Chain A
Amino acid sequence: MLSLTEAAAALRSGAVTSQALTRDCLDRIGRDNPRLNAFIAFDGEAAMAQAQAADRARAGGQPLGPLHGVPLAHKDMFYRSGAETTCGSRIRTGWIAGSTATVLQKLDAAGAVTLGRLGMSEFAVGPLGLNAHFGAVRNPWNTERVSGGSSSGPGAAVASGLCYGALGSDTGASIRVPAAACGVAGLKPTYGLVSRAACMPLSHSLDVVGPLARTVADVALLTSVIAGPDAADPASLASPPGLVPATPGALPPGLRIGVPTSYFTDDLDPEMAALLAECHAKLAELGCTLVPIAIPAFREAAQIYGVILGGEASSIHGKWLRERPQDYAPQVRGRLLAGLQIPAADYVTALRARAGLLRRVLAEVFTQVDVIAAPIWCRLPPRIADVESETVQQAARTVGGVLRATLPANVLGLPALALPTGMTSAGVPAGAQLIGRPWSEPLLLSLGHAYQTCFGTLGLPPAG
């Protein structure tokens, strides 16, 4: 199967048609979605009509966007005017959006074909990919194991070739955790780089939107399309046009890679530690210098995460928690209700601490290293049957363990690229996150692309 960038190039040259690629994706969806549960909804007829229009436009000599005719699908939290967006919830099942997300408008303008809406954790609460209303999304490498979440559908669908790329969101883990467990690349961008207008919110201070795709080069192309300022998102920050190039640049010489000696390593399973060490060794083979580094500010950033997330998510859900509590899954409702107990002063204190923590990380960490190469999952992705039968308290501990390595980047607003690194004994992939200073997406993408050019990708999982 072609990668997204290869497919886009083949479509432009006329070597393939959008109808052929879209039909192939629909065939894969028909074959694999029943066992993966990656899609909440798909519309083959509508997708084929878009593909036909794309092929006609090319035949007619019309200008072609960078994603012209490429079949994509997205986490079911991006609003499209006149269409349903469930947010993975019972509460929003049947809800029709009145506006279209800026990121979808950009993908439409770039010529992408939309296949359907992908599964997710209920309201993006939960990093495992479980969902009491729509069922868990299953890991395409081992369907007994979780896919990771909350962008569970994007992880599973992209990994198994049901689409060429997908949008997800990341409030504490939700792009990187499923990307790692499913063996694909995913980018959590700098806070403010990508618009969140007309996207479901979970925590306004932490939410970012980003892509998942099978290669880092694919992720770069998608990011180049969706990045940029948007007056419709109050958190959007102005960035120079073309900040993220469509094709990753050459790897700069002399890169210093931070190898964490604390926080990320505190609760790291030996098998995951060995895979991370292999990744570090490969980065050294690329000519990077490995620099052991302690990162105490990351631990402190992690400590304020729950207060910010809890305060904001419970505010967003306050009305439904009062009026429709029975329509949430118990674990989701419990996490949201916990946020309602947080005193306002503690929430403001957490926000005040955030700027100082970022200044400290910039001064103490990113003067010594250019990129931190850290784990994503500290333990093996669990079996679905094991986590679905956990008590609320057990689930809280499991969730806390999964979020541990990824949430500091959200508190600090830093970009982080999920990069597949190998296979675990559980039969599912592992990945590392390359964390950089704000706006360093071009560097992270260059590094990830150089890694995949030299050491390859995981490819597609065996068909079930």
Chain B
Amino acid sequence: MAQTLRDLSAEELAWIAESTAGLLRQQPDATAYTGFDDPPDAFPAVLRSERPC
């Protein structure tokens, strides 16, 4: 990574820091939508449950 970051301009580095912080600020609290026990791979199961017979 260090080699990559060295190649970037100050503008690019500032944007990366800003955009990453922005992404993380937006991150909602998963517990508002899932139970404590819900795993990260539960999503396809919800889709499967909707599948027509």
> A interface vs B, CB < 8 Å?
190-192, 205, 235, 237-240, 243, 300, 303-304, 306-307, 310, 321-322, 325-326, 330, 333-335, 337-338, 340-343, 346, 348-360, 362, 391-393, 396, 413, 437-439
How far is it, in angstroms, between the C-alpha of A392 and the C-alpha of B9 when the chains are bound? 11
* CB contact list, B1-53 vs A, under 8 A: 1, 3-5, 7-9, 11-12, 14-20, 22-24, 26-28, 30, 32-35, 38-48, 50-53
Q: Which of B8, B42, B52 contacts A352 (CB 8 A)?
A: B42
**Inter-chain residue pair count (beta carbon < 8 A):** 137
How far is it, in angstroms, between the C-alpha of A392 and the C-alpha of B34 when the chains are bound? 36
State whether A322 touches B4 (Cβ < 8 A).
yes
State whether B1 touches A307 (Cβ < 8 A).
no
How far is it, in angstroms, between the C-alpha of A243 and the C-alpha of B23 when the chains are bound? 37
State whether A237 touches B16 (Cβ < 8 A).
no
State whether A350 touches B27 (Cβ < 8 A).
yes
On whether A337 and B8 interact (CB within 8 A), knowing A307-B27, A352-B42, the answer reads yes
On whether A355 and B24 interact (CB within 8 A), knowing A322-B3, A330-B12, A396-B15, the answer reads no
Interface residue SS majority, chain B: helix
State whether A355 touches B53 (Cβ < 8 A).
no
Per CB-CB distance, the 4 closest pairs between chain A and chain B, nearest first, are A356-B33, A355-B42, A351-B40, A353-B30
Interface residue SS majority, chain A: helix
State whether A393 touches B16 (Cβ < 8 A).
no
Task: Knowing that A393-B14, A396-B19 touch, tell me 8 more A-B residue pairs with CB under 8 angstroms.
Answer: A304-B28, A325-B8, A333-B8, A334-B12, A342-B20, A352-B42, A392-B12, A413-B43
State whether A300 touches B15 (Cβ < 8 A).
no
Q: Which of A334, A350, A439 contacts B52 (CB 8 A)?
A: A439
State whether B30 touches A350 (Cβ < 8 A).
yes
- Which chain B positions have C-beta within 8 A of A303? 26-28
Nearest chain A residue, comparing its CB with the CB of B33: A356
Q: Which of A346, A352, A358, A413 contacts B39 (CB 8 A)?
A: A352
How far is it, in angstroms, between the C-alpha of A357 and the C-alpha of B31 when the chains are bound? 11
On whether A359 and B46 interact (CB within 8 A), knowing A300-B28, A304-B28, the answer reads yes
